[in-house]
Amino acid sequence: MVQSDEVEFDAARADAARGDRVPRLVVIGGDAAGMSAASQARRRLGPDELEIVAFERGTATSYSACGIPYWISGMVDERDELIARHPQEFRDRQSIDVQLRHEVVAIDLGARSVTVRDLDADEERDEPYDQLLIATGATPARPDVPGIDAQGVFGVQTLDDGQRVLDALTDRSPRTAVVVGAGYIGIEMAEAMIERGLDVHVVEFGPQPMRTVDADMGEQIAEAMSGMGIHLHLDTAVQGIETGADGWVRAVTTDAGELACDLVVLGTGARPAGGLGRDAGLQVGSSGGIVTDPRQRTSDPYVFAAGDCTETFHRVSRRSVAIALGTIANKQGRVAGINLGGGYATFPGVLGTAVTKVCGLEIGRTGLGEIEAREAGFEPIVEVVRSTTRAHYYPGAGWITVKVIAERGTGRLLGAQIVGAEGGAKRIDVFATALWNQMTVEDLLNVDLSYAPPFSPVWDPVLIAARKSWQQVEAERC
């Protein structure tokens, strides 16, 4: 049986054929999702079968936004080390017409065209499409307070953003930085500023850093940040940004007082940049992300979307979520590109698996936290264990805390979190694999994991946590 959406794709190509031309795919956004999709479509259809043009408002394609804090800290020397593939490589190797410094400002679904602004020439033009992919990413969340758009206040989402921070560090020689928000980017940028020799204050509205982990795990992160010399202001709300006579930031005002500073970095998270699709009439979700089906197709059959600008399906909570991660963006882009190239692929959803490192502490999480599990309708049991990353007698062994959330009664794994020394965080991938396959903690307990003293105790912390969780399940059954 032919899928209805395949018929719609064939219709798009038929429209082009009636005009005696090659069908045209327009890609909005030249980073992970956009260029993954363009590359996949090109692998399936040659230049004589599909024209591909990608518009990117920035100055680079296919770069690692996750690496920006390490570039700013000095750990990564050059900007280009974060770029996986340059625009000319797409042009030469895959006949993908990448146009930098070109921002798509409007979409006309009826006419099947986009309005593109050439940012250098300050000119606009309309560009037609037969198929469209929206991969506009996410935008840093900016607190709605006076002065938030002042000079010296930086979001960190793109390479161009990172360059602006580096330029400020060089040109202004700041001594003190305030980081607003203690999410992934916030804590990584706080550490980067410490590495650059600045006095760093982190202002967080909530009671802990990294609200993607539970409070007991967040306490350890707070201790590590304080131990590195970061001044952590929890349960503190930003009320405004004060500037000097030159218009540059001089202080952040909070409900607990004023913090003098020379630089402000926004680490308040990011929101899906779905406004372009919403304004065109596409369906968006409660997060502002564009709604897609499993093939990454939007509410318009000729338009696909992928990456941080979309909402996606959480495999445990069974709810729509917006999670800005490069891993998800690349996978969704691949799926969209296969479909845009005439194939068939679906995206099965996410677990929200993520890792980071701050102040020597590794952090990992997957699935649902304790509160999230209850909000999703589960009755969870929780087990927390403390072990070591290696055999206790082997040099370099460090402490690791593992938290497991499972369903009461069945023992089905719902989520896990890890905080600990080097060698700890990537163990979260074992939990993610088990979670993906809907395993119980008893199933996980019997998985044949590797062992050698340089890598783990004979009972790996993952297995200890699974065993303790299963014991709790069995005890409640008795």
Strand order in the sheet with 123-128: 102-108, 113-118, 123-128
8 A C-beta contact, residue 130 and residue 16 = yes
- Tell me, what's the pLDDT at 3? 45
Instruction: Using the 3D structure, point to which of 292, 310, 340 is the last residue of a domain.
Output: 340
* pLDDT tens, position by position, 2-12: 344 454 555 56
Instruction: Write down the catalytic residue from 66, 261, 309, 359.
Output: 66
Average pLDDT over residues 171-189: 95
Question: How many domains would you assign to the chain?
Answer: 3
Q: Which residues contact 322 (CB under 8 A, 6 or more apart)?
A: 271, 272, 285, 287, 288, 289, 308, 310, 311, 312
The strand pairing partners of 248, in sequence order, are 151
pTM (predicted TM-score): 0.92
- Residue 231, domain extent: 142-268
Structure tokens at 464: 């200890």
66 catalytic? Reply is yes
Residues 332 and 261 in one domain: no
Within-domain flag for 322: yes
8 A C-beta contact, residue 439 and residue 367 = no
Residues 134 and 275 in one domain: yes
* pLDDT tens, position by position, 436-465: 999 999 999 999 999 999 999 999 999 999
CATH of the domain at 122: 3.50.50.60
The separation between the first and the last C-alpha atoms of the chain, rounded to the nearest angstrom, is: 51
* pLDDT tens, position by position, 217-236: 999 999 999 999 999 999 99
8 A C-beta contact, residue 178 and residue 263 = yes
Within-domain flag for 433: yes
Binning pLDDT at 50, 70 and 90, where does residue 336 land? very high
Within-domain flag for 289: yes
Instruction: Using the 3D structure, point to which of 268, 283, 301 is the last residue of a domain.
Output: 268
Residues 254 and 148 in one domain: yes
Structure tokens at 160: 């161009």
* pLDDT tens, position by position, 300-319: 999 999 999 999 999 999 99
DSSP conformation letters of 156-221 = -SSHHHHHHHHHHHHHH--SEEEEE--SHHHHHHHHHHHHTT-EEEEE-SSSSS-TTS-HHHHHHH
Residues 127 and 167 in one domain: no
| Higher pLDDT, residue 269 or 433 | 433
Residues 131 and 18 in one domain: yes
Within-domain flag for 351: no
Residues 191 and 258 in one domain: yes
